[in-house]
Structure 1
Amino acid sequence: MPAETIALTEGPSSVWSSLRVSAAQASAEEPILASFMNAAILRHDRFEGALAYRLASKLADAQLDAMLARDVVEEAIAADPSIAARAAADMVAIEERDPACQSYLQPFLYFKGYLALQGYRVAHWLWGQGRETFAFHLQSRISERFGVDIHPAARIGQGIMIDHATSVVIGETAVVDDNVSMLHSVTLGGTGKADTDRHPKIGKGVLIGAGAKVLGNINIGEEARIAAGSVVLKDVPPHCTVAGVPAEPVGGRCNHPARTMNQQLESDS
């Protein structure tokens, strides 16, 4: 089922039963992990509760113990149900696009790109509530824990896959639309010292290859493809592949690159 359908109609309950089945199977296959699977997934009644528990266990530190962290995450999810819905959509996106993902269990428990993104969603809610210091605290913790630095003011859609994720940086005024895929070491950064709108706007269905740098208040059109290692300094039209330093159009039209994860430069038409 497409991520959009899960997020907009059935919500997180669509993935919950499958996640529980995978956790039960993992417990049977690896009894040494049974208590972990029970604490993280099986003893919870709903996806929202398991998500809050998992994020709290990852974001807790000396200043914020796990119980208090869980209270904050639960508060955010209760106030904004889209947090859990988007978390479910992100999980579906990863399972669909990443051949290394065997079930929903892997991203939910282990994939740092997924966990960092869900932590950002809580920090973003805090930012919207005017609790900026707390949002910055979570941003710092996410960076320390997962090697991913997402400003809590950035706006990120649903159905997002951040694969491998190490060294991903997303700036304060960046916008990432739905169904985007990006790999490790991607930067959505600014240029200069302007304190206004200074970061990229990434359209629906874009694929950003490993190590790509997209800099400045520029627009990346829907279903564009940015080759690994590229430095993008100007707008990219929809369905266009760009590569190089600085990046320029190459090859032909690309279709659904974020879903196919096809990083070759030839035309898809």
Structure 2
Amino acid sequence: MFYDKIYNLWNKIKKEIKFLCKTEPILVNFYNKNLLKRKDFADALNYLLSNKFADYFISFSTIYSLIKEIYIDSPFIVDFALYDIKAIYHKDPIVDKYSTPFLYFKGYHALQAYRITHWLWDKHRYSLALYLQNKISSLYAVDIHPAACIGYGVMFDHATGIVVGETTVIENNVSILQSVTLGGTGKDNFGNRHPKVREGVYIGAGAKILGNIEIGKESKIGAGSVVLKSIPPNSTAAGVPANIINRSNFSD
């Protein structure tokens, strides 16, 4: 069943691009190389990331072969990438095409690139994971430690300045705006020292969430807030330091 969903979304993306080829012929070569000539979504995503990662030290073919190996070993990574596109399409009011985040959104690109570094980190290939993390940070101004754990349906909106620490957990369907830090307090050097962001959380631009604290399911963090203590589910927190300003009734 999920294969059908992937196939349908991939077909929708290609249909959009064929239409765009007619409306903007200057970009036909760009559309062809990135999407229309790719055999499937995994190949298209691999092609996009390999072009971003390739440099003087690592060739396109080397990184392409590596990512292909990763997608074969862990196909759920490709599934997650599709969930991320669907989440952006439904959450971001400016997005009216599935192809838009895939082609143009650096938050989406940075997240998919992180998934490659996370696979490498889990395989104890720490040096390559850190090398690529540095590339991601330089390319996108998004710094995600390869050891962080991030779910699917995640939206990094605008994305510039997002920092995600080593022991951070970001669950499914979370939305994070630009200049957000999920970091440590500086008091702990080992163990769990970064936030745990539960499903469906929204974090406004410029918010700083620091320490081994939990942001409860479906909660909202106001822009510019500094959060130093756990926030319960279904709550809204704002301020410096952040305090709960609204809490909805909920039941587990």
Q: CA deviation at 1:9?
A: 6.5
Q: Between Structure 1 and Structure 2, how many residues are aligned?
A: 249
Q: Gaps (5+ residues) in structure 2?
A: none
- Specify the alignment match of 2:239 in structure 1: 244
Q: Is the 8 A contact 1:12 1:84 kept in 2?
A: no
Describe how 1:108-187 pairs up with structure 2 within 5 A.
108-187=102-181
| CA offset digits 1:41-76 (Å, max 9, x no partner) | 001121111110011111222222222121111111
Whether 1:95 and 2:92 are equivalent positions in the alignment is no
Stretch deviating more after TM superposition (73-82 or 61-70): 61-70
Q: Is the 8 A contact 1:59 1:145 kept in 2?
A: no
Whether 1:195 and 2:190 are equivalent positions in the alignment is yes
Q: CA deviation at 1:35?
A: 1.1
- CA separation in 1, counterparts of 2:98 and 2:140? 19
Residue 66 of structure 2, aligned match among 24, 49, 72? 72
Q: CA deviation at 1:196?
A: 1.2
Specify the SS of the correspondent of 1:249: strand
How high is the TM-score relative to the length of structure 2?
Answer: 0.95
RMSD, aligned CA: 1.5
- CA separation in 1, counterparts of 2:237 and 2:4? 36
Stretch deviating more after TM superposition (231-240 or 59-68): 59-68
Q: In the alignment, residue 219 of structure 2 is paired with which amino acid?
A: A
- Specify the alignment match of 1:59 in structure 2: 53
Specify the SS of the correspondent of 2:78: helix
- Specify the alignment match of 1:217 in structure 2: 212
Residue 46 of structure 1, aligned match among 37, 40, 47? 40
- CA separation in 1, counterparts of 2:221 and 2:102? 27
- Specify the alignment match of 2:20 in structure 1: 26
Q: Gaps (5+ residues) in structure 1?
A: 1-5, 256-269
- Specify the alignment match of 1:81 in structure 2: 75
Q: CA deviation at 1:252?
A: 3.9
- CA separation in 2, counterparts of 1:115 and 1:147? 11
Structure with greater contact order relative to length (CA < 8 Å, sep ≥ 6) = 1
Q: CA deviation at 1:104?
A: 1.3
Q: CA deviation at 1:254?
A: 8.6
How high is the TM-score relative to the length of structure 1?
Answer: 0.89
Specify the SS of the correspondent of 2:190: coil
Q: CA deviation at 1:12?
A: 2.9
Q: Is the 8 A contact 1:225 1:254 kept in 2?
A: no
- CA separation in 2, counterparts of 1:201 and 1:9? 31
Q: Do the aligned partners of residues 248 and 109 (structure 1) sit closer, same or farther apart at CA in structure 2, a change above 3 Å counting?
A: same
Specify the SS of the correspondent of 1:245: coil
- CA separation in 1, counterparts of 2:88 and 2:230? 27
- CA separation in 2, counterparts of 1:177 and 1:228? 20
Identity %: 47
Q: In the alignment, residue 164 of structure 1 is paired with which amino acid?
A: H
